[in-house]
Chains A and B, each alone.
Chain A
């Protein structure tokens, strides 16, 4: 019986990819904290991870080769959502800097956790291969 590297890493691999997308999105919100009319965006991580995990088990997905291509919704597809501001501002910007900062810190910590898990899994694999 062989060890499938894909099976060992799959959940964490998807989690790391999706989290870096989410961190990027939160960084976008933070960078645009003072842009008039900018709407803060986010996505449902739990849902996105479940979707990514189920689609990574299916056999095929479409590849986007041009920047204008729509994502097929199978690979890393997630629904972008606009966050509801706690307090509306006159310039139409919906970024709540403190909330975004908190979410960013939390995502970064969770990313650290995922990376630690991946690290340990890889180390475990290496140990098994070496057979020491």
Chain B
């Protein structure tokens, strides 16, 4: 019964969007985490979505899964502030390559997508209830 599959599909979408929201939260909260070396600096991380096919050939339904989390390769923000307690020998501290504006947009997109998946589940639930009550 394909209405049952919808719960899996929309559920996978919801959990994927949740991971995305999690990484966004982590990026935003670490946007100003200073560090004294390039290697130890936090880098913006993003989830990598991919489609999972299930079902028989030609009639596949597909959910979404998070393949992994990738770190952004954008340049870090070095700042010259010799008085900072974390400053290195040259007087630099390094800030993460997080773009807060980008993260906010990402957050809105993720929460909207999550909402859409919730609506899909709600609608299927209504249809299922209606099917169960057939003829009664």
Chain A contacts to B: CB under 8 angstroms: 16, 20-21, 23-25, 27-28, 30-36, 38, 64, 66-71, 80, 97, 101, 104-105, 108, 111-112, 115-116, 118-119, 122-123, 125-126
Q: How far is the CA of A98 from the CA of B33 in the complex (A)?
A: 38
Decide yes or no whether B134 CB sits under 8 A from chain A. yes
List the B side residues contacting A34 at CB < 8 Å. 16-17, 20, 49, 64, 109-110, 113
List the B side residues contacting A122 at CB < 8 Å. 134-135
Q: Are B3 and A20 in contact (CB under 8 A)?
A: yes
Which residues between 83 and 136 of chain B lie within 8 Å of chain A, taking CB atoms? Answer: 109-110, 113, 116-117, 119-120, 123-124, 126-127, 130-131, 133-135
* Closest B residue by C-beta to A98: B116
Decide yes or no whether B31 CB sits under 8 A from chain A. no
List the B side residues contacting A33 at CB < 8 Å. 13, 113, 116
Q: How far is the CA of A105 from the CA of B120 in the complex (A)?
A: 9
* Closest B residue by C-beta to A109: B123
- Decide yes or no: A27 and B49 within 8 Å by CB, A33-B113, A80-B58 being known contacts: no
Secondary structure at the A interface, as helix, strand, loop or mixed, is: helix
Question: In the complex, what's the smallest C-beta–C-beta distance from B46 to chain A, in angstroms?
Answer: 11
Chain B contact residue count (CB 8 A cutoff): 40
Q: Are B10 and A67 in contact (CB under 8 A)?
A: no
* Closest B residue by C-beta to A17: B2
Could you list some 23 contacts between A and B, CB below 8 A? A16-B131, A20-B3, A20-B127, A23-B123, A23-B124, A24-B9, A27-B6, A27-B10, A27-B124, A30-B10, A30-B13, A31-B16, A31-B63, A32-B51, A34-B16, A64-B56, A66-B56, A67-B56, A70-B57, A108-B127, A112-B127, A118-B134, A123-B135
Chain B contacts to A: CB under 8 angstroms: 1-3, 5-6, 9-10, 12-13, 16-17, 20, 49-51, 55-59, 61-64, 109-110, 113, 116-117, 119-120, 123-124, 126-127, 130-131, 133-135
Q: Are B10 and A31 in contact (CB under 8 A)?
A: yes
Question: In the complex, what's the smallest C-beta–C-beta distance from A16 to chain B, in angstroms?
Answer: 8
List the A side residues contacting B133 at CB < 8 Å. 119
List the B side residues contacting A38 at CB < 8 Å. 51
List the A side residues contacting B5 at CB < 8 Å. 24
- Decide yes or no: A119 and B134 within 8 Å by CB, A28-B62, A31-B10, A35-B64 being known contacts: yes
- Decide yes or no: A30 and B55 within 8 Å by CB, A115-B131, A123-B135 being known contacts: no
List the B side residues contacting A27 at CB < 8 Å. 6, 9-10, 120, 124
